[in-house]
Amino acid sequence: MPDGQSEKTENEAMPMPPQAPTGPAFAYFDQDEEAKALGLFEILSEDSSYDPANTARFDKALSLDLYRGMLLTRLMDKQFMALQRQGVLGFYAETLGQEAAGIGSAAALSSQDWLVPALREHGAGLYRGMDFGNFVAQLFGNANDVTRGRQMPLHPSDPATRYVNMSSCIATQLPHAMGIAMGIQIAGDGSEVCMGYMGDGATSEAEFHVAMNFAGVRKAPVVMVCQNNQWAISTPGTGQTASETIAVKGLGYGIESLRADGNDILAVYEVSKYAVEKARRGDGPTFIELLTYRVSAHTSSDDPSRYRDESVTKVWRTKRDPLVRMRVFLEKNGWLSEADFEAMVTQIEAMVRKSVEKQRDVTMPPLSSLIQDVFQTPWWRLEEQLATLEAIVD
Amino acid sequence: MPTMNIIQAVNNALRIQMALEPKSIVLGEDVGKFGGVFRATSGLYDEFGEERVIDTPLAEAGIIGAAIGMAVYGMRPIPEIQFSDFIFPAFDQIVNELAKFRYRSGGQYPCPVVIRTPVGGGIRGGHYHSQSPEALFVHTPGIKVVIPSNPYDAKGLLLSCLRQDDPVLFMEPKKIYRASRGDVPENDYTVELGKAKVTREGDQVTLIAYGAMLHVIEEAAAKAAEIGISCEVIDLRTLMPFDIETITESVTKNGRAVMVHEAPQTCGYGAEICSSLYERCMAHLEAPIGRVCGFDTPFPYSLEHEYMPNAARVLGAIRKTLEW
Amino acid sequence: MSAVEVAAVQTDDDLRRVLDDDGKVISGVTVPEVSDEELHHLFDTMLMVRIVDERMMRIQRQGKLGFYMKSLGEEATHLSVFPLRQDDWIYPSYREQGAWFWRGYTIEQFLNQLFGNCKDATKGRQMPVHHSANWLNMVSISSPVGTQIPQAVGTAMGMKASGTDQVAMTFFGEGTSSTGEFHVGMNFAGVSKAPAIFVIRNNGWAISTGTEKQTAAKSFASKAIGYGMPGVRVDGNDILAVIQVANDAVARARAGEGPTLIECVTYRVEGHSSSDDPSVYRNPAEPEAWGPRDPLNRLRGYMKNKRLWTEGMEKEISDRCNDEISKYMALAEAHGAPEVESMFDDVYQDLPWHLKEQKEYLLSQARTKNPHLHN
Ligand SMILES: Cc1ncc(C[n+]2csc(CCOP(=O)(O)OP(=O)(O)O)c2C)c(N)n1
Ligand SMILES: Cc1ncc(C[n+]2csc(CCOP(=O)(O)OP(=O)(O)O)c2C)c(N)n1
Ligand SMILES: [Mg+2]
Ligand SMILES: [Mg+2]
């Protein structure tokens, strides 16, 4: 067993999300189907002003917890990206600017729920308690990686927190999320729900269609979350679909569809909570569009200045930054002092650094791991192939 | 004569053909302004406009389905699938539609669609940016499969594909996209489809490969030469229909052969080549034909260098055929 | 879906209708411009489909045909092609015989395809009902459902890129709207604003699967919103309403305003195909409930009111069709199968060496007895 599995978790400071008290009733949810799918739900406005009646649910514990999840995502992304630039990591993809969408939605889940990620939910996975050491080991694909270095960086897998193993292929996970929900429906005890993620680009794939259609017909307890960051590599939203919003696509499947400001973590949390609770009650699926922006490049291999106007990006990076908006909220409530903030940063950075130190020089997985897991037991040809390989390496 | 890498050669071929044939249309994910994630379509958008260099939504079945419809209508679509690992959402359109359209309509509707897609491992791409699915398509009657190993051939073969009326899967070995450089004439020329190329003559063992693996067998042949073993090296270039004559002739002459590809061994393309050679050269064979292939596992990330065939493994196979 | 629910479908507000069940024009609706001659032609085509279907199923039952698919009750939907010009393109599914006949495909050609004989324009390559006629711009039908949808869009994108005002129309069943290809095709059309028209024949059933198991959407037309295009629901048993809606969609497409999704609400009165037995999965009362809405009857009623229909005229069409069927069926049966070596043609434009070898090998072998009756 790779030591990663026996290692004590490094992010014990990261408890499961505190459960929020019941939230206020928002008029947004009472509108007709089209109005919800075409509208935009928001609690914290761009300048962080808000109606206190709408934030009653967000006590200090929950609010700080959400903020810390976002901060962890941002700070580690920064450090890992730097390591990628130094050639220490082969590949990395940030979620810069999208931290609220990932964390706010996942925070609505309980520990028994399932999270089926797309490509920008690693922060959400860690927020829900995925072991940080295992996560970093996967980035290096070393012998500590519980998935045995099989995939590129940023393809973590954590059965313990029901963070499902992902593929690099866009949208393939969506029917799986729906299938997990069907399984819950058929064989579960009614307490679980499944949340499946996608980017805006993924909505163009056939798998989006089949997954949504099945979910609608089966009334499966699934919440489909689209992080609409308005780009799919170089393709803008208008190149992806002619529909007015992404959310409106849900109506074609008879699925209630909500749309929220994805940079407002309070709004993200509320729509997600609404959908999760609805699924848990057995009232069927919800489709959520979270409107946000991919402030970073697509991945470490991309250069967005080739295809987009970076002055637009700047607005999203500054005025609409989800962390800034939430930090102002915390400060207004007197829940986060400058010193608290510094302490938080120091603690997270130290954790990331410590973990990287621990994993970066670990050896690669053993040769024999190459033929493991193709099938439960390797067949004769795989044994033969391993023998040839070992003979050459010796 | 300018020096180009494979990407530039492909780009050059596309530019020549687009200028010559107004019905040719490039379509795919990020092929427009961005010029493709590997830059193979770079500059085409500016030169030929958005009507002829189309950024599509993220849906491979749509890309190939639409390309078929364009071809049926009389155009010459050149779709790109960003990585051959992402060709599977379009598998139905390729296998059931594109490859059968001419046949099932009794010849009424030829479908001259040339699908370009990067193929193969060695770029730290893990499961989903490394696969070599060529055999699946060779096993689909009605579509040709071409894999160049160098810039000169890439340009000439691509231009040939674009000037004939059958569907082609043109797979570009991405490991050597930039690494393989060479002289490429700027003018228009073609390299004939269905013709292999003997890139090194030798009289003891015939080494056969295509794409990125050609360089591996070249290296093995050079190493073999150092220890006094003479290898003939054959670049297949077209996998369907393949050049049976060239390989038969060489293997008949040498009596020994090694087939190399990075796709998994079992039911891989090499199995067909070996079988065809056994049918034709049995009497001349001095040893069983060696096979050096990818293992029968999904393509790994951390251990990719162990997974990919290399010169040492090929040399091992050469020795084995000689020691038989 | 119970018979009661079926009735409800017909009275929905958003269902476009022109004729009532008796063929009388509903007051206040616009009637599309259709000349008397065209009405006659429409009636002729629909009746022809009905007669051909009837006869083909009979010979299928007699074992003379391997397979057949009827479209009883859905004939009016086929005539969504009414506003198309000959230079427009059609990507059909397997249940639009009327579109073929309307375009000029003959009973002789139709039968030769069913028999897969040496006169079949597609050289006996596919099962019965998989026609292809490039001279009519009608594209080869494929068995996997939905594959034609992105292809039709590709053709429409090609039309747009070429600067013509042609349009491409594609047909498919409501079950097919669940395929990935529906989604990608619709999305490509929306984004590219291609002159494509999507006609869903919602006949209530996909083999044994009813519409409520196919989608939770409020209608199939409502799916259009997700692709940024208009979706229209029309009474698919009302030929004038079908034409009216198709006219609008074609005009939109020609004017460069982009694609339209049309849902023709109709009903599959009989089994899915000759291999099906609907009594296993549906209430026999259900098809009966659709009896009064029969599209041919409604057109007949309308024409009667306009004094355009006579018993004699109907008999004339019917006799002509029956005679033609008898004549060409005998011929189609008599024509032999395609030459054995034709098996290797059209895989590629030229015969590659390996197929040449395989062909020589096959020809050197004793011929197997062709089990097909037409041999
Ligand atoms: C099936 C498939 N096709 C293409 C790709 C290449 N690719 C990787 S990410 C991406 C864009 C994804 O965009 P989106 O779904 O919006 O997610 P985002 O990157 O914005 O989070 C593409 C085209 C892929 N991974 N899988
Ligand atoms: C891809 C694919 N899956 C399954 C089938 C088998 N099949 C043939 S017809 C059919 C039902 C189609 O229903 P619908 O689209 O409503 O058309 P209809 O038959 O009612 O005209 C099915 C499942 C098929 N032909 N292709
Ligand atoms: Mg995106
Ligand atoms: Mg149907």
In this structure, is residue B89 part of a structural domain?
yes
Q: What is the CATH number of the domain that holds B66?
A: 3.40.50.970
pLDDT digits (tens, 9 = 90+) for C292-324: 999 999 999 999 999 999 999 999 999 999 999
Q: Are residues B63 and B153 in the same domain?
A: yes
Q: What is the DSSP string of A347-390?
A: HHHHHHHHHHHHHHTPPPPPGGGGGTTSSSS--HHHHHHHHHHH
Q: pLDDT tier at A393 (50, 70, 90 boundaries)?
A: low
Considering CB atoms only, which of C122, C144, C157 is closest to B106?
Answer: C122
Nearby residues of A337 by Cβ (< 8 Å), 6 or more positions away:
none
C272 is catalytic: yes
Q: How far is the CA of C188 from the centre of ligand 1 (A)?
A: 17
pLDDT of residue A19 exceeding 80: no
Chain C 252-271, CB below 8 Å of chain A: which residues?
Answer: 258
Task: Look at residues A280, A285, A310 and name the one whose alpha carbon lies nearest to residue A295.
Answer: A310
Helix (H) or strand (E) holding B65: helix B60-72
Residue A9 has pLDDT above 80, yes or no: no
| Cα C210 to ligand 4 centre (Å) | 8
Tokens of B28: 């795919």
pLDDT at A5: 41
Ligand 4 midpoint to CA C203 (Å):
5
Average pLDDT over residues A58-68: 97
Q: Cβ of B302 and A155 within 8 Å?
A: no
Q: Does A293 share its domain with A213? A: yes
Q: Are strands B168-173 and B114-119 parallel, antiparallel or unpaired?
A: parallel
B190 belongs to a structural domain:
no
At A1, is the pLDDT very low, low, confident or very high (cuts 50, 70, 90)? Answer: very low
The C-alpha of A79 sits at a distance from chain B's nearest C-alpha, in angstroms, of 21
Nearest to C116, CA basis, from C108, C107, C127:
C127
Q: Mark whether B46 and B156 lie in a shared domain.
A: yes
- Does residue B163 sit in the same domain as residue B36? yes
Are B115 and B90 contained in the same domain?
yes
Give the nearest chain B residue to A392 (CA atoms): B313
Residue span of the structural domain in which A311 resides: 9-363
Does residue B21 sit in the same domain as residue B170?
yes
Same domain? B155 vs B214: no
Ligand 4: centre distance to CA C214 (Å): 10
- Give the residue from chain B lying closest to A167, CA to CA: B128
Given this model, what pLDDT does residue C371 score?
63
Does B191 map to a domain? no
Name the one residue in this structure whose structure tokens are 């958008």.
B45
Asked, for residue A244, whether it belongs to a domain, the answer is yes
Q: How far away is chain B from the Cα of A235, in angstroms, using its nearest Cα?
A: 6
Q: Which residues of C touch B166 (CB under 8 A)?
A: 348-349
Of A11-15, C71-75, C275-279, C369-373, which one has max mean pLDDT? Answer: C71-75
Does residue A2 lie within any of the structural domains?
A: no
Q: Does residue A128 fall inside a structural domain?
A: yes
Catalytic residues of B: 129
What integer pLDDT is reported at residue A25 of this predicted model? 86
The CB of C130 under 6 Å from ligand 2? The reply is no
d(Cα C186, Cα A326) in Å, to the nearest integer?
39
pLDDT at C1 over 80: no
Residue B192 is assigned to a structural domain of this protein:
no
Size of interface B-C (CB pairs under 8 A): 152
A94 and A119 belong to one structural domain: yes
- Tell me the per-residue pLDDT of A281-306, one tens digit each, with 9 for 90 and over: 999 999 999 999 999 999 999 999 99
Chains touching chain A through at least 3 C-beta pairs below 8 angstroms are B, C
Contacts of A384 (CB under 8 A, 6+ apart): none
Predicted local confidence at residue A23, as pLDDT? 76
Task: Check if B277 contacts C (Cβ < 8 Å).
Answer: no
B33 to A306: CB separation less than 8 angstroms, yes or no: yes
Whether residues B25 and B171 share a domain: the answer is yes
Does B94 reside within a domain? yes
The CATH number for A47's domain is 3.40.50.970
- The closest-lying atom of ligand 2 relative to the alpha carbon of residue C146 is 1
Chain C residue with CA closest to B28: the answer is: C188
Phi, psi of B219 (to 5 degrees): -65, -45
Indicate if A67 and A83 belong to the same structural domain.
Answer: yes
pLDDT of residue A22: 76
pLDDT reported for residue A24: 82
Ligand 2 touching residue C78 (CB < 6 A) = no
Q: Kindly state whether residues B86 and B129 are assigned to the same domain.
A: yes
Residue A3: predicted pLDDT: 39
- B5-17 per-position pLDDT tens digit: 999 999 999 999 9
> DSSP state, A41?
B
pLDDT score at C333: 93
The last residue of one of the domains, among B183, B213, B235, is B183
What are the residues facing A194 on neighbouring strands?
A114, A222
Taking 50 as the threshold, does the pLDDT of residue C10 lie above it? no
Q: What CATH number does residue B280 fall under?
A: 3.40.50.920
Put residue A373 in one of left, alpha, beta given phi > 0 → left and psi -120 to 50 → alpha: left
What is the percent of chain A where pLDDT is above 90? 91
**Residue A148 and residue A63 in one domain:** yes
Decide which of B161, B183, B205 is a domain's last residue: B183
Q: Which two tokens stand for residue A327?
A: 């930090």
Q: Same domain, yes or no, for A62 and A205?
A: yes
How many domains is chain A built from? 2
**Neighbour subunits, C (≥3 Cβ pairs < 8 A):** A, B
- CA distances B62 to A204, A226, C329, Å, are 9, 21, 40
Q: Which of A167, A170, A300 to mutate to test the pocket of ligand 1 (most atoms within 8 A of CB)?
A: A170
> Chain C: residue nearest A253 by CA?
C217
Do residues B287 and B174 share a domain? no
pLDDT at C368: 78
Instruction: Write out chain C residues lying below 8 Å of A205, CB-based.
Output: 180, 184
> Do residue A152 and residue A229 come from a single domain?
yes
- Asked if C184 lies within 8 A of A248 by C-beta distance, the reply is no
Sequence-distant (≥ 6) Cβ neighbours of residue C277 within 8 angstroms: C271
Same domain, B168 and B226: no
Do A309 and A184 reside in the same domain of the chain? yes
| Test site for ligand 2: of C145, C205, C269, most ligand atoms within 8 A of the Cβ | C145
Q: Which residues in chain B are closer than 8 Å to A148, comparing Cβ atoms?
A: 302
Judge whether B308 and B214 are in contact, CB under 8 Å. no
pLDDT, mean of residues A339-366: 97
Residues A295 and A384 in one domain: no
Instruction: For residues A230 and A330, state if they share a domain.
Output: yes
Q: Which residues lie below 8 Å from residue B7, measured CB to CB, with a gap of 6+?
A: B38, B39, B40, B177, B178
Residues A93 and A224 in one domain: yes
**pLDDT value for C373:** 53
Give the structural domain span for B179.
3-183
Residues B269 and B304 both lie in one domain? yes
Q: What is the mean pLDDT of chain B?
A: 97
List of residues 6+ apart from A315 with CB closer than 8 A: none
Whether residue B43 is found in the same domain as residue B177: yes
- pLDDT greater than 90 at residue B152: yes
* Domain end point (choices B117, B148, B183): B183
Domain count across chain B = 2
Model-level pTM? 0.94
In a domain, A4, yes or no: no
Average pLDDT over chain A reads 94
pLDDT for the residue numbered A392: 79
Kind and range of the H or E element at B170?
strand B168-173
Is A375 found in the same domain as A327?
A: no
Same domain, A78 and A187: yes
Is B20 a member of any domain?
A: yes
Closest atom, ligand 1, to C-alpha of A120: 21
Residue A3 lies in a domain: no
